[in-house]
Structure 1
Amino acid sequence: MLLQTRIILFVLATTAVVSALLLGMAGLREDAADRHARELELARLESSWQLAMTTATGRADLALGRLASDPEVAQALGAGERAPLSRRLEALGITARAGFADVNLFASTGALLYSTDRSLDPAPLLGKTQVDTLLGGQRLPRGLRIGAGDRLLVTASSPVHSGTSVTGAAVIGLGLPAALDALRKAVGGRVFAVSRAGEPVAGANDPLWPVIQPLLRPAERVILPLQAEGRSYDLASLPIADLAGGRVATVLVALDVTQAAAERRLWTIAYVAAVALLVLAALALLYGYLRKNFATLDTAVQALQDLSAGRAMGYVELPAGNDEIGRIARAVEVFRGVMRDIERSAGQRERRLRRQQRFIRRQMETLAVTLEDEARQSLLDELRQIEMATYDPQSAQSKGVSDELGLLALGFSRLATRVSTQQVQLVQLVRDLREALADKRRLISLQQELEIARTMQLTILPQVFPSLPQMEVAARMVPAKEVGGDFYDFFPIPGGKVAIVIADVSGKGIPAAFFMLITRTMLRAIAESGVGPAETMRRVNNLLAAENEQSMFVTVFYGELDLRTGELAYSNGGHNPPLRLSRDGTVAELARTPGIALAAMPDMPYAERSLRLESGDMVVLFTDGVTEAFNDAEVMYGDGRLAAVVGAQAAASARDGLDGILSDVARFTAGAPQSDDITCLVLRWHGMAAQDGAPALPAMAAAQA
């Protein structure tokens, strides 16, 4: 390829790269501008949403002010009378027809005295703690809450005064559409709303909704382009939170940007066309300049080719001067003299090359002795081929060299490569061996530490259970790894009661084991204060959630059994409900209580239930490692099999019942790896054998110690 052609191609490639960079930088700048514009638009929409919320809460505050300042309402709340309240709300215009979705009025005792929810057991908008705050004369933050039936309500609340004393509390909730209407007026777009699960809350009847629904990203704050109805839209997704800071819904705003998108496309086309025209003009000028100046250079190159081929008569007169062509003419004369000197020194060089050849051959044979047998034999074969090629010029040229010394140098290079490769391999083998030994030592140390941790964990859990006249208890944990996250506990608490606990920490291994120890310690410390199951769970949840940087959680079933009466009071924090085997052989789950796993979220309420055990009843507590155990066919053990094997323990003791359940799980999963910790606690109630259960508790504490 001619130099002229290469230069043109190089310049063409350089120009194309520069043009691409310019277009890319322009695209990046435009993308950055678009991102900035989207952020500004999202900020504007968020400000509009806050303004809409302020408008809605302001409307609720106005109605709340009329309600809280009404003397008849204050008197009725103070007296606990329901009848006058409905009439006064109608008179004040605070009704569902006026847009107020829910109204709660609380008496001074904290009881829900009036609610617009006409169900038999209406759910209050506020919890007991928040109502107590209002009855203490303080106001609560206003904003978005989740009401009964997962309704989204904009709420405002206030204490109701009669003179200087608080006679009750009032809570008013507006439906989410009130805030959406205010947002629609503020931004002028089409507004939609979806719940946390992505279900439509508002705007589902809009013709644009079927196009928007596949693009939903409920948890993201983003603006997406959208084409529908022959128009261009920017679809803004704004997650909204309730007063607790958790995401409860997502507001979607579709803004018509058809005209702006068309203008942006026109500017992009104009910019690309201008760059293309500029590049074509530059290439045309370069081509004309090179074609004019390379004509003289072509003549000089032809003269050099004639000289290199030995055609001195083909010499042409070249222009003299100090430019490149003049310097080429002087170089041609020098080249003629050099050619004559080369012919004289050719014989001397041949003799010198022969001597060097013999020396290099001897050195190569000496070095080959240090190689392994296979590599040494291969190298000697190559050396013989090189020696044969020394006397065959065509073979030498095929190997890429032009003389005998070059062939020997090629062989020497191959020898050096083989020696260095063998040395590198030996060094790498030694390094790998050292690393393998170090890894083995670390692995042995880690296995020893894990075995110590396993022994310590099993030692912490109760292993010896006291023999009480009223009851028997047996429990066991089988960790899936060296250490596990399940645990159980059984200990006395004040009032002639014993506490029974079973729990399952999220995850497995060492992190779960540490979290298990923390939970067990906190649960014991709070339970011994005698505050009851629900309050114990609430306090432990708040303590665990306060410093939960790893976002772990634990499901817990906690119960308190009165040894004098056989009454079992319990609270369940997201755990599998225990099974009760009655005297008649029926197996049933204990009634569930509301409550989520501990450490998942602070300030969560926990409910409490109780039941009275009959003589001969058996209660089986277990973790999901029992029901979710799989056999080698990937079939799960399941609740049905567990209920069946529990029903078969009607005449068994607590220890035999525990062995029967775990043995059945082991038979089912025989040959399959254990996927989760397996923990089970069995309690057999014999009835009140002694009138006073207190004397048995110190003996029980001594047995556990």
Structure 2
Amino acid sequence: MTLTSRLVVMVASCIAFAIIVVSVVFGLLGRNALISQAEAQATVVARIIAESARLSEVALEEAQEVVTDVLTTTALTADHVEQSSLPDLSDRFAEIVARGNLDAIWLIDSNLRILASSVGDYDAVISGQRLPEHLSPEALQALVSGRRFSVDFGPAVDGVRYVGVRAGKGHAVIVGQPVAVLDAVRAANSVPVLMEALLDRNDIISIEVRDDQQKSLGQVGAEKTPPDLADLAADVVASGNPASELHGRHLWVAAPIRDTAGIVIGSVTIEMSGQRLEELLNNLLLYGIGAAALVFAVGAGIAALSARRIARPVAAMTEAAHAMEARSFETGSLDTVARRTDEVGTLARVFQAMAVEVQRREEDLEAQVRARTLELEQKNELLEASARRVEAELQAAKTLQAAMLPTALPPNPAYAGTAAMVPAREMGGDFYDFFSLDDKRLGIVIADVSGKGVPAAFFMAISRTVLQASAQDGGTPGVCLARANAALCARNPMELFVTAFYGILDVETGELAYANGGHNPPLMIRRADGDVVELPRTGGMALGVLPDMPYAEKSAMLRAGDTLFLYTDGISEAMDGEGREFGEGRIEETLRSAALLPVDRVLTAVTGAVSAFVAGAPQSDDITCLVVRYFGPPAEALAS
């Protein structure tokens, strides 16, 4: 995407995003405003319900007082009815009851006996007729005795309320009125009627009133409060503040109901439609997206014009950079941009100066590179010639080193042997030797110089010469190693050392006397059982480390057919690609399987096993081994 396109998209997207964010914010604010309005409306409804309930109670109390006054008036009226005879009086009572919607009228004497009642044209008193038991006898006595003019016998019993008045000396009239006459007043002033009147106004769907113990006192509307919103009314009672919650597509609002003292005595829960909230949010989002799209289009056009003007010099700088990379830049190509007085003009002028400097330096560098290349080519030719000379010299030294080592044991029917040395580099530090000390004794040497390469090869030559000279001077193997150690310590400027094993084989007896200077102990293959055993160790130190060191000696008896195998650590420590060593165990296992083979086949069996084990891994050390088989005294060997 080009810089112009990025500028256009960035500017227009930022403006559109800002408009959408503003629309969402205003939508949320409008939603919160509607919810606050709903909570305020619920608070008003709670106040209306509380006031309505209070006024209903007042109205009922006043209506009750009116009923009591009417009953008293009726009783007085009944008292003034002409008392011609008791049956006629009963008929008049019956007419009054029928017209006044009363329950009963009784005329009693001082003994509280009924003299007349509203039984129509029956006898004055029906047999067994009595006053209601809940009428207080004390109050009745007060009436008939004249101590009280009228008595209200209290709350209704069985739906009837009773009032009594004095009716002359020793008499009283009792009138009963059904309280059902107040049902119309109660119904007209009841809270449910008011709640019904509030439905379908301001999106109210249902209303439920609860007391402070969360007992439902009344509910109108199609839906009851869901069980998972029961805590909403309890929280309102506890906090005294309105609360709301969206549930599905409806808004539920709860507000506290307070008495005249301001104490919370219950709550009202109102279910309202959430359609207005959804319409508000949808409209704001719709208008916001439309405005964002319009602004995006206008902003993209304006940004495109501005971006092209801004990006044109940047594009010229980009082309100049490509031309600089292709080495075809012309300084005058940026003159138009360089004349600008803003930051881009400054950048163009700096770029022009830098380009001139870079071109000049490139020319200087190219000239220096050509000179250095010619010089390096000449030196490389000299190095190659020197390398060829060194390689030839190393090859000659390798040939000379190989020629130093004997290729075969001195001829004798009492023994046979062979040896091999494979250096890790052009020249190695391992060596072996065997030589006749006299007609009956054979000297056997195997050694390993520390280090590799040319220094080790030179020290190897010195060590071989010193050891051979010491052996020729006579003496036991330990004495010979001690003389050789003293000579090497005296001539060892590079502080190298050599491990060595020196043995003397008596061909007539088969005794092998030996001393070991820190070398791997040789192995002996017994002809009798094919077992492979290690020669006992003598514990000597490597040669060239410390002067005046003694070297202990030991001996072993070889029987006819026994084989000696001497080796350096290049065999036991040969490693495969995973870093595992060949080890003494594999050497012994290979020798057991090759015990009856000729000596040259024994040597090739071991070296072949090592090659198969390392499987092409780089050789880490010189590989040297020597095999000697004893056939018995010369006379027995010739006879066999």
Structure-2-length-normalised TM-score: 0.47
Structure-1-length-normalised TM-score: 0.42
Larger Rg: 2
Determine which structure has greater relative contact order: mean sequence separation of CA pairs < 8 Å that are 6+ residues apart, divided by chain length.
Answer: 2
